[in-house]
Amino acid sequence: MLNKNDISESERLSLEKLSNDIFWFKRVHVAENLNCPIYLLEKLSRDTNSDVRKAVVLNPSCSDLILDNIISVETKYSVIFHTVFHKNCSFNTLKKIHQKYEKLRDIIKFHSNWKLQDFE
């Protein structure tokens, strides 16, 4: 995971500026950036646009805490669907999805963090 010190100051400032852009597709590009710091992913995870939140979920650096926070308030199925495939999706987050979305249960069973014996 990246923090403020892992990228150049100019790149960090550019990403910060774009993360506030009025155009959602620019915020998507920030969330998709592999050098996007965690604090910006956290901020973008609360974006009003679901495409931005989905881009956060698709970023490999997205933390388990961010994924859990997104799932706690998310209403868009596409964002939840992609969360299930994230390597950092924790057992607790998977459990929440498993309880609420029956259609995703078969997919969840194959996630490396899923512990069926702990849940059933």
pLDDT tens column, 48-101: 999 999 999 999 999 999 999 999 998 899 999 999 999 999 999 999 999 999
The total of other beta-carbon atoms located within 10 Å of residue 85's CB is 13
Is the CB of residue 100 less than 8 Å from the CB of residue 78?
A: no
Tokens of residue 120, six digits = 């059933």
> How distant, in Å, are the alpha carbons of 38, 53, 75 from that of 49?
19, 7, 11
Q: What is the pLDDT of residue 115?
A: 78
- What is the chain's mean pLDDT, rounded? 91
Which tokens hold the place of 112?
């490396």
Q: Are the C-beta atoms of 93 and 73 separated by less than 8 Å?
A: no
Q: What is the pLDDT of residue 7?
A: 80
Indicate the number of domains in the chain. 1
Burial status of residue 42 (CB atoms within 10 A of its CB: 0-12, 13-18, 19 or more): middle
Which residue range forms the structural domain that includes residue 114?
4-119
